Amino acid sequence: MTSVLAGAVSQRDLRTSARRLLTELGIGLDTNADRFSVPDRRGTLIVANHISWLDIVATIAVEPTAFLAKHEVRGWPLIGSLAAGCGTVFVDRREMRRLPEVVAGIADALRAGRSVVVFPEGTTWCGRCGQGVFRRAAFQAAIDADAPIRPLTVAYRQDGEPSTVPAFVGDDTIATSLRRVIRADGLKVALTAHPALDPDTGRRELAERAELSVRQVAHV
């Protein structure tokens, strides 16, 4: 994983590309942070709820960090190249025997000063009619690296009301989802960074505390 991260391209270029893509899609961006990593510390494990492929674009628009993502994302137009440019690790869910290796790689990246975004729910949820429990594995990387954990809430709104338009669930394809997003008016993505957690307890408790923070209503 570390060798992949070393090849990441300019953060400024990635941020500019992500913001341009949001603009072209007609999506506004609201956030309470100019970055999600914890300053003056080794890399930060950023953990967020997962609603859409747009989560990746919006996060890169604020701070281009590495991601842990399913391998299909690599082949998606626009999003795949942005994620790859950040040094993202693409994992085949059918190869779960690699999980300890992946966790170790995240810990190495954190020790090296690179921040990594993980979606601990493991898959996307629409946000309004369901949500997933935060899985614990990635939190072990923060413990091993003695790295801070930054919970991040992702929310979508239209005209001030919650929106499920960007939700990428079920049998959705990237093409149908993209068309739906393009047709939407007044769509905004809100990213709320919550206070960082120190890796001072077990991964079960850290996952529960991070999930509780992320579930808070975003006020941006």
| Of 45 and 4, the one with more pLDDT | 45
The reported pLDDT for the residue numbered 215 is 87
Report domain extents, the chain.
2-214
Q: Which residues are 68's β-sheet partners?
A: 89
| Of 78 and 214, the one with more pLDDT | 214
The reported pLDDT for the residue numbered 219 is 41
Measured on CA atoms in the order 173, 123, 4, 15, is the torsion positive or negative?
positive
Mean pLDDT of 130-137: 76
**127 pLDDT higher than 60:** no
Amino acid at 133: V
pLDDT in tens, 156-210: 999 888 888 888 876 778 888 888 999 999 999 999 999 999 999 999 999 999 9
The reported pLDDT for the residue numbered 6 is 37
The reported pLDDT for the residue numbered 217 is 58
Helix or strand run (H / E) with residue 79: helix 79-85
- In this prediction the pTM is 0.86
Output the average pLDDT for the chain.
84
The reported pLDDT for the residue numbered 3 is 36
pLDDT in tens, 41-90: 779 999 999 898 899 999 999 999 988 877 778 877 777 888 888 887 77
The reported pLDDT for the residue numbered 126 is 47
The reported pLDDT for the residue numbered 30 is 95
**CATH class (in words) of the domain with range 2-214:** alpha beta
**154 pLDDT higher than 70:** yes
Mean pLDDT of 126-138: 69
* pLDDT-derived band at 18, boundaries 50, 70, 90: very high
Residue 65, Cβ density class (10 Å: 0-12 exposed, 13-18 middle, ≥19 buried): buried
- The residue among 136, 114, 133 whose CA lies nearest residue 123 is 133
Q: Which residues are 191's β-sheet partners?
A: 31, 154
* 1-11 burial code (b ≥16 CB/10 A, e <16): beebbeebeee
